[in-house]
C-alpha cells in the first residue's frame, strides 16, 4: 500500500468506510503523464474525483479540466481555474448549463448531434466546438460505446453545419473506453479523426485539435501496459496520419490521475462459511456497490485488497456489501482469496480506489451515510 496512506491509517483510527487520497501521488501521476507525452494538454476528468484538494493541486500544476456539468465547471472556477482551462466535455448539456458556462466565459464545448449543435448555436454563439466520434471500445474494462459519438460521415456534416452556424469548428474527440488495456485502440480512432480532418480541409475548414479522451488504465487485479506504450503508439499514429502537421492534442485522464492515489479502508462486518463445509467464505464489508464501489458492477473493476494477515494461509472468498440488497455483491465470479484468519471487526484496504468512488456513493441507501474522505 501507498506508505503515506498506510501511515495515516495506522496513526488515525478512522471510522470506516473511508477514502484516503494521497495528493502527492496525484502530482506524481500528472507529471508522469506529462513527461510521457509533453506535447499534449492534460484535461483532468473532474468526474473521477472532484474534491477541492485535488483541483487545487492540479491548478498549481497548470492542468486543464474536463467538466461533465455546469456544477463541475463551477467547482473548477471556484478553485481558481481560468475559463480557458476548462472544457465542457459532456455531449448532453442542459440549455441552462450551456448558458451558465457561456456566461462564465467557457470557450470549448463537445457535441455529437445536430440538436446539441443547435443549442450551442443559440446559447454559446461563436464557441469552439468539437465533435465526438464513436470508436471501438474493445479492450476496455468499462466500455462507453453506444451512448456517445457519431460516424465520421455525420461528424463531417455536423462540423460543416457548425461553421455555417457561426460556431468555431475546432476539432474532434473520441473515447476508447475507460480502463482501456490495449494501446492499439487509439490507432483506428486517430485514423478516423484524420478522415474528418482531411474531408473538412477540402472545404477550407482546418480543424486544430484532437481530444483523445481518457481511458488510460491503472493496475487493479492484473498488470496493465506501461503508459509509455500508449503514448508511443499515439505519437507514432499521429505522425503516420498527420505527418508534420500534428494538431493540438488533448487528453482527458481521470482514473490515471487519481485512481492509484486512493485507498478505501473498510471493516469486515461478517465472515462466514454460511453453514457449508466447503466452498468460499462470504465476507461482508461495510462498503458495497451502493457505497461507492459502483464499478464492481459485473465485476468490471477488480480492486486489489490488502489485510493485516497478508502472507498467511488464504482461502477463496465471495465479497459482498453491507446492504439488504441482493445485487450488492462485489466479487463472486472473480477468484479472490483472502487470509483465513480474517474475522468480523478486522479492517481491510481496497487499493487504487481514488477514482469514481466518492461520487458514485449513494446519499443514504439502507441508511448508511456516505463514506468519509481524507485528502493528505
Residues 254-313 that bind a second copy (CB under 8 A): 267, 269-272, 274-275, 282, 284, 286, 290, 294, 297
Judged by CB under 8 A, the residue of 3, 11, 278, 324 near a second copy is 324
The footprint of a second copy on residues 181-240 (CB under 8 A) is none
CA 91 to chain centre: 16
In 10 A of CB 298, how many CB atoms? 9
Helix (H, G, I), strand (E, B) or coil at 87: strand
Q: Rounded to the nearest 5°, which phi and psi values hold at 31?
A: -65, -40
If one asks whether residue 243 binds a second copy (CB under 8 A), the answer comes out as no
Inter-CA distances, 252 with 76, 78, 201, 260, 305, Å: 15, 20, 26, 16, 27
CB of 323 to a second copy, least distance (A): 7
Distance, in Å, from the CA atom of 298 to the CA atom of 226, rounded to the nearest integer, reads: 25
Output the nine-digit C-alpha cell for 198.
482531411
Compute the half-sphere exposure of residue 1: CA atoms within 13 Å on the CB side of its CA.
27
If one asks whether residue 21 binds a second copy (CB under 8 A), the answer comes out as no
The stretch near a second copy (CB under 8 A) out of 30-38, 61-69, 160-168, 180-188 is 61-69
If one asks whether residue 328 binds a second copy (CB under 8 A), the answer comes out as yes
Q: Is the dihedral of CA 70, 254, 162, 151 positive or negative?
A: negative
Nearer to a second copy, 95 or 308 (CB): 95
Q: Is the dihedral of CA 75, 258, 29, 108 positive or negative?
A: negative
If one asks whether residue 242 binds a second copy (CB under 8 A), the answer comes out as no
Q: Is the dihedral of CA 67, 56, 103, 161 positive or negative?
A: negative
The stretch near a second copy (CB under 8 A) out of 28-36, 77-85, 242-250, 323-331 is 323-331
Nearer to a second copy, 341 or 343 (CB): 343
Q: Is the dihedral of CA 239, 194, 30, 10 positive or negative?
A: negative
If one asks whether residue 364 binds a second copy (CB under 8 A), the answer comes out as yes
Nearer to a second copy, 183 or 322 (CB): 322
CB of 266 to a second copy, least distance (A): 11
If one asks whether residue 116 binds a second copy (CB under 8 A), the answer comes out as yes
Judged by CB under 8 A, the residue of 327, 334, 335, 337 near a second copy is 327
CB of 222 to a second copy, least distance (A): 21
Nearer to a second copy, 197 or 356 (CB): 356
If one asks whether residue 369 binds a second copy (CB under 8 A), the answer comes out as yes
Q: Which of 257, 254, 255, 281 is nearest to 270 (CA)?
A: 281
Contact map string, positions 340 to 359, toward a second copy, x by CB under 8 A: ---xxx------------xx
Contact map string, positions 137 to 156, toward a second copy, x by CB under 8 A: x----xxxxxxx-xx-xx--
CB 200 within 8 A of CB 158: no
Place of cell 479523426: 193
Judged by CB under 8 A, the residue of 36, 46, 127, 209 near a second copy is 46
Contact map string, positions 63 to 102, toward a second copy, x by CB under 8 A: ----xxxxxx--x-------------xx-xxxx-------
Task: Give the H/E segment covering residue 374.
Answer: strand 372-375
Judged by CB under 8 A, the residue of 102, 365, 374, 375 near a second copy is 365
Strands 178-180 and 140-142: antiparallel
CB of 311 to a second copy, least distance (A): 24
* Residue ranges of E strands in 139-230: 140-142, 168-173, 178-180, 209-211
CB of 364 to a second copy, least distance (A): 5
Give bridge partners of residue 282 from the DSSP assignment: 272, 318
Amino acid at each position: 500500500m501507498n506508505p503515506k496512506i498506510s501511515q495515516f491509517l495506522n496513526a488515525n483510527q478512522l471510522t470506516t468506510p473511508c477514502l484516503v487520497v494521497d495528493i502527492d501521488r496525484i502530482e506524481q501521476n500528472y507529471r508522469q503523464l506529462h513527461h510521457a507525452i509533453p506535447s499534449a494538454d492534460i484535461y483532468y476528468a473532474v468526474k473521477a474525483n472532484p474534491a477541492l484538494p485535488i483541483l487545487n493541486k492540479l491548478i498549481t500544476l497548470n492542468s486543464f479540466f474536463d467538466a461533465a456539468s455546469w456544477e463541475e465547471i463551477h467547482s473548477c472556477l471556484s478553485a481558481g481555474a481560468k475559463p480557458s482551462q476548462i472544457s465542457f466535455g459532456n455531449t448532453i448539456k442542459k440549455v441552462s448549463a450551456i448558458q451558465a458556462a457561456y456566461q462564465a466565459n467557457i470557450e470549448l464545448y463537445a457535441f455529437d448531434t445536430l440538436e446539441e449543435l443547435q443549442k450551442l448555436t443559440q446559447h454559446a454563439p461563436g464557441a469552439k466546438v468539437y465533435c465526438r466520434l464513436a470508436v471501438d471500445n474493445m479492450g476496455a474494462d468499462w466500455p462507453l460505446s453506444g451512448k456517445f459519438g457519431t460516424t465520421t460521415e455525420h461528424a463531417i456534416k455536423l462540423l460543416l453545419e457548425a461553421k455555417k452556424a457561426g460556431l468555431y469548428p475546432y476539432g474532434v474527440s473520441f473515447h476508447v473506453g475507460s480502463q482501456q488495456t490495449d494501446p492499439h485502440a487509439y490507432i483506428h480512432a486517430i485514423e478516423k479523426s484524420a478522415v474528418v480532418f482531411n474531408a473538412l480541409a477540402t472545404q477550407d475548414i482546418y480543424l486544430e485539435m484532437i481530444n483523445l479522451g481518457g481511458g488510460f488504465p491503472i493496475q487493479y487485479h492484473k498488470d496493465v501496459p506501461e503508459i509509455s506504450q500508449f503514448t508511443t503508439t499515439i505519437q507514432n499514429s499521429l505522425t503516420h496520419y498527420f505527418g508534420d502537421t500534428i494538431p493540438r492534442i488533448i487528453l482527458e485522464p481521470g482514473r490515471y490521475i487519481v485512481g492509484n492515489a486512493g485507498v478505501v479502508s473498510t471493516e469486515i462486518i461478517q465472515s462466514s462459511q454460511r453453514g457449508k463445509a466447503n466452498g468460499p467464505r462470504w465476507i461482508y464489508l461495510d462498503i458495497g456497490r451502493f457505497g461507492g464501489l459502483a464499478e464492481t458492477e459485473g465485476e468490471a473493476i477488480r480492486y486489489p485488497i490488502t489485510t493485516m494477515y497478508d502472507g498467511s494461509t488464504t482461502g477463496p472468498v465471495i465479497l459482498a456489501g453491507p446492504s439488504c440488497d441482493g445485487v450488492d455483491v462485489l466479487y463472486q465470479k472473480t477468484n479472490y482469496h483472502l487470509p483465513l484468519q480474517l474475522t468480523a471487526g478486522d479492517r481491510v484496504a481496497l487499493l487504487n480506489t481514488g477514482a469514481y468512488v466518492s461520487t458514485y456513493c449513494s446519499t443514504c441507501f439502507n441508511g448508511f451515510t456516505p463514506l468519509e474522505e481524507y485528502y493528505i
